[in-house]
């Protein structure tokens, strides 16, 4: 039986390239492509893929939150994060969100195919470079206050922060989230208190640093 794969990446050329390569494998079939985190969530609901190839930095909803929500709804879905990011925070957060593996985009296709099959078997897949990074940081026990701050934000607060970071004003955010302007203002204040940041510029810089925005 073929493994059903959903590709989530905001770059069309990347999705097309991955589809072309994956579908040359006799045991892999691409059931859908998503250009954002929210699209990945919706398509996962429709197609129930065995494996989701998940980019981390995407518009609308980042890959970390999309991973968390897909896993909450479909415990049998396996997520393989596919990213250029080698920052420990990204690796840790997406694994905590429920990803079974983390692969760098500069890998060879043979490794990607191997990783897809591994996570489909519910085996954790991390390339040597990522394993070394995680172990080194663990042994050094480097404080990571930024990651802790990020973990205190709710999914809705992250979504709101992402909209702020791409230049949406309060009314536009309220419309997008289908809430009142007052609710947006209150949630923005809560985010600022949690992150100890008190301007839109600071919030935007934080969102970019944490991969919530690709600006």
Q: Structural domain boundaries of the chain? A: 3-138, 145-209
Instruction: Name the residue with higher pLDDT: 97 or 131.
Output: 97
Task: Report the sign of the C-alpha dihedral through residues 129, 13, 177, 190, in that order.
Answer: positive
- Which CA distances in Å does 156 have to 18, 58, 59, 104, 148? 31, 16, 15, 28, 17
pLDDT score, position 90: 84
CB atoms closer than 10 angstroms to residue 186: 12
Question: Exposed, middle or buried: residue 144 (CB in 10 Å: 0-12, 13-18, 19+)?
Answer: middle
175-182: Cβ within 8 A, 24+ apart: none
Helix (H) and strand (E) counts in the chain: 11, 5
What mean pLDDT, rounded, does the chain reach?
Answer: 87
Name the superfamily (CATH) of residues 3-138. Response regulator (3.40.50.2300)
CATH topology of domain 145-209: Arc Repressor Mutant, subunit A (1.10.10)
* pLDDT tens digits, 52-83: 999 998 888 999 999 999 999 998 999 999 99
- Which CA distances in Å does 182 have to 62, 111, 189, 191? 25, 49, 11, 14
Taking the C-alpha atoms of residue 99 and residue 126, their distance in angstroms, rounded to an integer, is: 11
Token duo for residue 93: 């957060």
* pLDDT tens digits, 177-202: 999 999 999 999 999 988 888 888 78
Percent of the chain with pLDDT over 70: 90
Report yes or no: 89 and 147 within 8 Å, Cβ to Cβ: yes
Report yes or no: 158 and 194 within 8 Å, Cβ to Cβ: no
């Amino acid at each position: 039986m073929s493994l059903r794969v959903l590709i989530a990446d905001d770059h069309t050329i990347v999705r097309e390239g991955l589809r072309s390569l994956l579908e040359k494998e006799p045991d892999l079939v691409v059931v859908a492509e998503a250009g954002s985190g929210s699209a990945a969530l919706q398509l996962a609901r429709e197609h129930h893929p065995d494996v989701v190839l998940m980019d981390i930095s995407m518009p609308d909803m980042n890959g970390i939150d999309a991973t968390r929500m897909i896993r909450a709804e479909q415990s049998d879905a396996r997520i393989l994060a596919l990213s250029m990011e080698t920052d420990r925070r990204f690796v840790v957060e997406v694994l905590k969100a429920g990803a079974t593996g983390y692969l760098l985009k500069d890998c060879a296709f043979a490794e990607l195919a191997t990783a897809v099959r591994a996570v489909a078997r519910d085996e954790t897949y991390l390339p040597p470079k990522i394993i070394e990074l995680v172990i080194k940081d663990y042994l050094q026990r480097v404080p990571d206050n930024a990651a802790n701050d990020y973990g205190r934000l709710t999914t809705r607060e992250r979504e709101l922060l992402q909209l702020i970071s791409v230049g949406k004003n309060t009314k536009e955010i309220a419309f997008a989230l289908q809430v009142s302007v007052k609710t947006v203002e209150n949630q923005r204040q809560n985010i600022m208190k949690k992150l100890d940041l008190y301007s839109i510029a600071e919030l935007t810089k934080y969102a970019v640093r944490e991969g919530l925005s690709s600006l």
